Amino acid sequence: MAVKEDKKLRDYELVVIISPEVANEAADGIMDGVSRFITDNGGTVSAVEPWGKKRLAYPIKHFMEGSYVLSRFKMQPKFTKQLEASLQISEDVLRHLLVNLE
């Protein structure tokens, strides 16, 4: 029964803070890569909302501002670790937060 449960798509929200040094086109490319990862693994992306540049509460990697992007999607839970690992190794991503909405 656990195999069937793992196949179920779950709702997620992902907020990504991208370095202010990254051009808008490159930031779009980062989010396109995230969306491609989700769809390649059987998920669906329902929304990608750029929030624009905002001031950070504290410095992250010596930056005081970052470009925020919110993404809403459905994906199998087994792929979340891979997604987070790829975001962590990206030098252009300052922070990310992945939340399961269920």
Q: How confident is the model at residue 102, as a pLDDT?
A: 80
Q: What is the pLDDT of residue 6?
A: 54
- pLDDT category at 2 given cuts 50, 70, 90 is very low
CATH number, domain with residue 78: 3.30.70.60
- Residue 24 is predicted with a pLDDT of 86
What mean pLDDT comes out for the span 44-66?
A: 95
Domain count of the chain?
Answer: 1
Query: How are beta strands 10-18 and 63-75 bridged, if at all?
Result: antiparallel
Confidence of residue 3 (pLDDT cuts 50, 70, 90): very low
Residue 17: domain span: 2-100
Element (H, E) at 6: helix 2-7
The b-or-e profile of 48-76 (16+ CB within 10 A means b, else e) is: bebeeeeeeeeeeeeeeebbbbebebbbe
Mean pLDDT (whole number) for 57-66: 95
DSSP 8-state secondary structure symbol assigned to residue 78: G
